[in-house]
Structure 1
Amino acid sequence: MINYNSWNFTKKLIKVGHNRAVRSHFRDIKSDSRRDTGRTALKTGLLIDDKDSALEILNKQIYFRLGLQREEAVGTNPWAWSTKPMPDNPQLCVVYRMKNNRKSGNYPLYIPNYNGSKSFNPPEFKKGTRMAYVILNDNSRVSCNAFSELEAEKVVKYFLRFVNSRFRNNDIRHTKVNANYIVADMKPVRADFYSKGPINSTPDWRLYF
C-alpha cells in the first residue's frame, strides 16, 4: 500500500515535476546524461536522481529556480512595429548583456519577420545613443542603439540578412536617441524564436551563444 505521507512518495512527486521543468528549460539537449559541454553537464547535474538525499534535491531546486529560471524574466514577446502591430508574424528576440558583467540586466533586440534560420550568430556591439534602423515593408522595424552610427549599422545589417525577403529593404536611417544610455560593450547570450510573434506564450526554440 502506498503511504501518501511518506518521504519516498513526496520525493517521487518532486522528481517528476522538477525534472520535467529542467528538460523543458534545456529542450535543445535531448540526452539526460551528456557532460561534454557546460550546458549538457549543467542539465545532467540538475536532474534529480532516485539516490539523491533531501539536501541534494533541495539544492538542485534552489539553483534551478533562482539561478536559471529568473533569466526568463525578460519579456521576449516583441512588438517591433513602427505604426501598426502585426501580432502573428514570426519574430526573433536577441537578448544581450554587458560583456564584462554576465549578471547585468537583459537588453533585448528584435527581428520581425524572421526567416526561421538557426544559423544565427549575432555580433557584439557597444551600446550608446546612436540609432540605426530600417522600416520594413510591413511597417515593422529593425533597430539598434550603439556608440556610433557605424556600430549600430553593423548590427542592423546583420539582422537584415535574416528578415524574410518579402519584407526586407536596405533603407537604413540614423538618428540620435534622447536617452541616458550607459555606454557598454554588449554580448549576445541567447535568442528566442516565436513563430507567431506575441501570440506565442513560449518560444518555439532557443539558441545560446
Structure 2
Amino acid sequence: MKRLAVYCGSASPADGRYVALARDVGRALAERGIGVVYGGGRLGLMGAVASGALEAGGEVIGVIPEALAGPEVANADCTELRVVRSMHERKQAFTDLSDGFLTIPGGVGTMDELWEAVSWSQLGYHAKPIGLLNAFGFYDHLLAFNRHMIEVGFVREAHAHILIAEPDLELLLERMERHVPHRPIFAMKAQDL
C-alpha cells in the first residue's frame, strides 16, 4: 500500500485522546512510507492526521470541495491540495488516489465515506482493503450492527469480511496488506444474489 485514504472527523472532541490518536496515525503511516489521502481540512482529527504525517516527512494529499475550501478550513500545508466541485468528486478522488481505506473515529461524514467504500467494494467498483481502527472501542456498536446485518442476511457471506477491524493500528495495517479481494456482485449470477 503506497497511499491510504484516511477517513475521520473534522471535529476535535473534548476527549484529547482522539486528536492524539489521529496525529499518531498520520505519523505511523508516514514512517511506514504510506502516503495519506484525506479530506483536505486543517481542523479536528483531519488536521491532526495531516500534521502527524507531514511532521514525519510523509506525503499528504488533501481533497476538499470548493464549498469548504476557504482559507479558514483548507490545509495549505499539504504536499498537494486538490479542490474539487462536489463531495461525490471528493470520494471518487479518494478511491482513485489510494490503495485502500483507513477509517478512524469520526461522525456522519466519516460514516458516509466508510459505507460508500464498503458498498463500492461489494459491487466491484474497487477491490481495495477497507480498515476500521476501533480505538477506545469507538466502533463497538457499529461492528455489532455490521454483524447483525450479516446474520440477518442483508450482507452476503461473500462480503462478510470486507470490513477489516482492529483496535491496534499495526495489526490493522498488517491485515490490510494481506487483503484478498472477494467476489463482487458484478461478477455474480442472478441465482447468487
Same fold by TM (over 0.5)? no
Higher strand share: 1
TM-score, length basis structure 2: 0.24
TM-score, length basis structure 1: 0.23
Larger Rg: 1 or 2? 1
Higher helix share: 2
